[in-house]
Structure formats: C-alpha cells, structure tokens
Amino acid sequence: MSILINKDTKVIVQGITGRDGGFHTSKMNEYGTNIVGGISPGKGGTEVDGVPVFDTVEEAVKATGANVSVIFVPAPFAGDAIMEASYAGVELVVCITEGVPVHDMMKAAQVLKQNGTKLIGANCPGLITPDECLIGILPAMIFKKGNVGLISRSGTLTYEVVNMLTENDLGQSTCVGIGGDPVSGLYFIDLLEMYENDPATDAVVLIGEIGGDAEEQAARYIKENMTKPVVAFIAGQSAPPGKRMGHAGAIISSGSGTAEEKIKAFGEAGVPVAKEPGEIPRLVKEKLGL
C-alpha cells in the first residue's frame, strides 16, 4: 500500500518536449514510473524518450487511461495546464512549475474542487512511493522503501531529511513535497488523514516552516484524529519577524506564524519537534520503539 501513487499509476507529462519536462521524463522512466504519454500542443504523433506525445490531455487520457499528470510547463501557462488536466478527468495533478501567478492558482482551485481533482503543488518537487513510482524532480537514489511517511513544505529539506532517514535504516512509505506557495493543493491535514489510513505507514515526519497557520491546524488535527506517531521540524526558527524567507508562505506578520507558536502547538498535541534536522531519525526511532 501507499498514498496517492503506486506501481500501477499511469502518468502523463505536460510540457514533455521542454528542457525540464524531457529531462525529468527520462529520470522518471529510469526509476520505473509508468509514463504512458506526454502533452505538447502541435507535436502530437512524436515521441520523447520512447513516450508518445499528444496534442491535448484529453487525447492522452483517452488513449492511455492515464490517471496522474505532472506539469513542467512555464509559469504563465501552468494554471491553464492544471485546469486542462482536471477537465480531462485526471485524478491527481502534480505541478512542479514555480512562479505560477496567485490569481491563476485561485482560478484553478475552483475547477479542481468542482471536478474532484487532487493537486500537489504548484512549486513543489513532487512525490515518491519508493521502488514503485516517482513523479517530479526528487533525487531517486536517497529513498528507501519502508514505513515512514513524510510531508514537507521545503524541497531541499525533504532531500536532507530523507537522506538522514535512509542512512538510519528508516525507509519511507510515500514522501510528498507540497510546496510553500500561498495557494496550493493537498496540504498537511489532507495527507495526514491519508497516512493515518495507510497500512504501510507506521509513523509520519512533518516538515513545516514559519508563516501561516497550517502547522497549527495540523497539530490540532493530529491531537484529535491521529493514532500514528508524528515527528515534526519547523524551518526558519531563527527568522526575524517581518522578514520574507523565500517561500511565499514563509513570512511572519503581526506576531503570527512564528516558529515558537508552531512548536508550542505541536507540543500540546504530543508531537516532538526536532531542533535541527539531524535529530529527526532519533525521534522517529523513539516513537516506533526502535
């Protein structure tokens, strides 16, 4: 078992003929992901890395039965690409593109809700179920199959923490990089619920960051609904108030969204918060009784 993707997932790549789309299609193919098609308007009938290219998502879905799309198209067109995939009946859209205009994402969010389409991203590294399916730009070599789920707002921290888990013989069930944009798809609570119901996941690592109140909401959800242990880390613990820290959501304003508030909320929910990423494997092992 896993959440969202597995060896049977059929993936199409929107923007497959672009530099990034083509490069990462080959990497996903190498990992064993079932890439069944690509989208590039005007280039239907060609191939990229042995993958057939279609002019539209609708054509690709009808021809291949694809149920997941990963998006590498430029930011000005990413919102339309998300909506096209949703209207074509794709169940899950993974948008890697960064810099997607907020108003485009707000418009796309309404279409996704209307059609019941799930979204990861935008501005995210993607997700992976180790040894089964990789969708996005995650470095495959650091992942190991196991029973620890991971959710992260930070792409680079995802890699660092996963590498530490793997080096400490803590394999992963599914790892999801959700991105840090202010308007995005599936977030902490959605994924925590999935992990709670996933027989392959015995513990969860949650990597948050300053700004917003998503972590506080997640802490309340964990306290009220989770039976599986959760370990957290908050990036930006030393950031000064009012200082923009990279991600659109990572800003402290009017005294809210601070690391202290998030750490306190997790503490009240019984979730240990690592002071630095290197502590996470030890905390996970303690929670699992290893």
Residue 149 confidence (pLDDT): 98
Rounded CA-CA distance 81/78 in Å is 5
103 is catalytic: no
| Active-site residue, from 247, 250, 266, 274 | 247
- Token pair of 171 as six digits: 């394999």
The architecture that CATH gives domain 139-288 is 3-Layer(aba) Sandwich (3.40)
Instruction: Give the start-to-end residue ranges of the domains of the chain.
Output: 11-121, 139-288
Phi–psi pair at 128, nearest 5 degrees = -150, 135
Task: Tell me the helices (H) and strands (E) count for the chain, helix number first.
Answer: 9, 14
Residue ranges in the chain modelled with pLDDT below 70: 1, 237-256
| Residue 1 CB-density burial (10 A; 0-12 exposed, 13-18 middle, 19+ buried) | exposed
pLDDT of 180: 83
Question: What 8-state DSSP symbol labels residue 141?
Answer: G
User: Does the fold of domain 139-288 match that of domain 11-121?
Assistant: yes
End-to-end C-alpha distance for the chain, whole angstroms: 22
The DSSP bridge pattern shows strands 133-136 and 145-152 to be: unpaired
Judge contact between 33 and 49, C-beta under 8 A: no
Q: For 152-173, how does the pLDDT look when each residue is reduced to its tens digit (9 = 90+)? A: 998 889 999 999 999 999 999 9
Residue-level pLDDT at 139 = 96
CA separation, residue 152 to residues 33, 205, 244, 289 (Å): 22, 8, 19, 24
CATH class of domain segment(s) 11-121: alpha beta
